[in-house]
Chain A
Amino acid sequence: MMRWILLFIALALPAQAEVVVAGLSQNRVSINANFDGSEILIFGAVKREEPIPSEGGPLQVIITVAGPSVPITVRRKEKKYGIWINTDAVEVDEAPSFYSVATSGPFAEVISDIEDLRHRVSIPRAIRSVGAPMSVADAGSFTEALIRIRVKNDLYQVNENAVELDQDTLFDTSVALPANLTEGDYTTRIFLTRDGKVIDRYETVIFVKKVGLERFLFNLAHERPLIYGLLSLAIAIAAGWTASAVFRYLRS
Chain B
Amino acid sequence: MQIYLPIAEVSVNAFLLLGLGGIVGVLSGMFGVGGGFLMTPLLFFIGIPPAVAVATEANQIVASSFSGVLAHLRRKTVDLKMGTVLLVGGLFGAAIGVQVFAMLRAMGQVDLLVKLSYVVFLGVIGGLMFFESLNAIRKTRKAGALPTRKKHNWIHALPFKMKFRTSGLYISVIPPLVVGVVVGVLAAIMGVGGGFVMVPAMIYLLGMPTKVVVGTSLFQIIFVTGFTTLMHATTNYTVDLMLALLLLIGGVIGAQIGARIGVKLKAEQLRILLAVMVLLVCGKLALDLLLQPSELYSLGTGGEH
| Residues in A lying within 8 Å of B, measured CB to CB | 31-37, 70-79, 82-86, 91-93, 142, 145-146, 148-149, 179-183, 210, 213-215, 217-218, 221-222, 225-226, 228-233, 235-237, 239-244, 247-248
Using Cβ atoms and an 8 Å threshold, which residues of chain B touch A244?
66-67, 70-71, 252, 256
Known: A36-B2, A72-B302. A228 touches B292 (CB 8 A): no
With contact pairs A229-B233, A233-B62 given, residues A35 and B297 touching in the complex (Cβ less than 8 Å): no
Contact residues on B (Cβ < 8 Å of other chain), bracket: 35 or more
Given A72-B300, A180-B10, A241-B67, verify A84-B292 contact (CB < 8 Å): yes
Please, how many angstroms separate the alpha-carbon atoms of A49 and B155 in the complex?
96
B236 nearest CB neighbor, chain A only: A225
Do residues A243 and B292 form an inter-chain contact, with CB atoms below 8 A? no
Shortest Cβ distance from B269 into chain A, in angstroms? 23
Q: Count chain B CB atoms within 10 A of each CB in A91, A218, A233, A241 and give the residue with the most.
A: A233
Q: Which of A34, A179, A240 contacts B67 (CB 8 A)?
A: A240
- Check A217–B7 contact: CB distance below 8 A: yes
- Residues on B with beta carbons closer than 8 Å to the beta carbon of A183: 9
Q: Establish whether residues A239 and B233, one from each chain, have CB atoms under 8 Å apart when the complex forms.
A: no
A85 lies within 8 A of B112 (CB): yes
Q: Offer 25 A-B interface pairs, CB within 8 angstroms, sorted by A.
A: A33-B4, A34-B1, A34-B3, A35-B2, A36-B4, A71-B302, A73-B302, A74-B297, A75-B297, A78-B296, A86-B111, A92-B302, A179-B4, A213-B242, A221-B237, A226-B230, A226-B234, A230-B230, A232-B241, A233-B59, A235-B248, A236-B62, A236-B248, A239-B248, A240-B252
Q: Would A74 and B298 be within 8 Å (CB), given that A86-B109, A225-B237 are in contact? A: yes
Closest Cβ–Cβ distance, residue A184 to chain B (whole Å): 11
Are A226 and B233 within 8 A (Cβ)? yes
Give min CB distance, B107 to chain A, whole Å.
13
Measured between beta carbons, the chain B residues less than 8 angstroms from A226 are: 230, 233-234
Q: Give the distance in Å from the alpha carbon of A215 to the alpha carbon of B60 in the complex.
A: 22
B87 within 8 A of A: no
Q: Closest Cβ of chain B: how far from A171's Cβ, in Å? A: 30
Alpha-carbon distance A33/B7, docked complex (angstroms): 12
B4 partner residues in chain A, CB cutoff 8 A: 31-36, 179, 214
Q: Give CA–CA (A92, B299) in the complex, Å.
A: 10
Q: Are A35 and B11 in contact (CB under 8 A)?
A: yes
Could you tell me the distance between the alpha carbons of A148 and B242 in the complex, rounded to whole angstroms?
A: 30
List the 3 closest pairs (A to B, CB-CB), nearest first: A71-B302, A229-B233, A240-B66
Task: Find chain B residues with CB under 8 A from A76 CB.
Answer: 296-297
Q: How far is the CB of B58 from chain A (nearest CB, A)?
A: 9
CA distance A75 to B63 in the complex (A): 36
- In the docked arrangement, what's the CA distance between A82 and B287, Å? 11
Supposing A226-B234, A237-B63, A244-B256 touch, asked if A75 and B11 sit within 8 A by C-beta, the answer is no
Residue contact A146 to B299, C-beta cutoff 8 Å: yes
**In the complex, residue of chain B having the shortest beta-carbon distance to the beta carbon of A80:** B112
Please give the distance in Å from A29's CB to the nearest CB on chain B.
12
Partner of B6, one of A70, A145, A214: A214
